Chain A
């Protein structure tokens, strides 16, 4: 087979088509409210893509991902609101700061496996959340951090919903491209191997511990960017946003979309960000629905929704091949 020797073209095509649709979205949605939601969808996709790299690609569970999101938001928010930093520098600082914290958290906890890792990350998430509440001098405590300026580069301020939409989605696009490249690289394969058989990967020369730490830090970097985008978009941050329940929500998004599938976080985050908007009227129904969706997916679609889309694509490409091959 000649196709064996050539590098498979990455699934960039579908990603570019998707991003083209996203870029065209504001033209069909002049409504700022819808655009606003679409911006949040971008942030959640970025968050979930980072989490999926850790959980799906490398097979390491984290129950504290929201804390890294919060850390990114608070570092960026506090530096701009309280210390007058430029938002560009604050974004860089929030990524570096969050990565350093993730490194210190990851070094000891990633020696643990399975449930122990889940428990450790849960604990760290709760601790960081408590810090947001307790360091009220800096963070504004339980009532939240106010007066965070919008993101600005030089004299250009990203203020309107439309500007924010494109700004957020530019980052989301970068994040998605990075994840796509990663999934098809030497490192991505090694991570996949770790998630399947740690022992065999190790015996074939993969430094499993080092890779787990790298990927843990990378997923935190995704969260930090998402945090910084979030806080400058909303001009506000409250500790409740970054609590344990959010970590679970992010996990639910990844699971519903399809753990380890590239499109998983996109699908999961979109559904679970848009759905609650329709349920605003029914207070308390959200949690119930999340639970039902999670149980339903685990029972009937353990690989999430992404494979359904993949199957469609596969069927399409098979018929195309058959047509061409004759």
Chain B
């Protein structure tokens, strides 16, 4: 318990350092642009691939498990839309990004720690925590909502393609289903969750990387811890945010 509280204290102290005034805005801006490409644009591919196949699977699963003639077939489209919108594109994509982006951040910062690059920054008088973490945080907070929107669209397209190709639903029914009883607030709900999850992924992973002590073995461990802790926190906050936003 004491160890947990001590770690929690270190985490918040790190955040305080991260959000202190940047030394030079132009350098931070350049670094943020670099991180937008590295953590944002470079994640589009994996998000699209996973969203497409998940959308396809959700449609097929819904179709094969609701074969009762009482249910109109357009409900398959509705089910796919709501599954993607409410949970998949925010939570599942965040879990995937915790693996990809989180391990990337923890190993990058951890390697910088063990090779004394962070010490080199400190010696120069640079706030290393802010310089290394803040641009990553801004980049993910700004870009992850776009990833969620891309994921929603690609997932729904994947569902349509799989459903119509497999012959479980007609194109008209699917399109009617995804428009039926649509609640726009669900998009807001999904984007709010995405922003929270982006913060968790970046801050928790950066925390584990920043405080690595040792060598390459510890960097690997920190990377694993970053993914595990981020994932657990994403699931925990998913419950809390769902209760707060949908109740």
Chains A and B bind each other: no
Interface residues of B (CB under 8 A from A): none
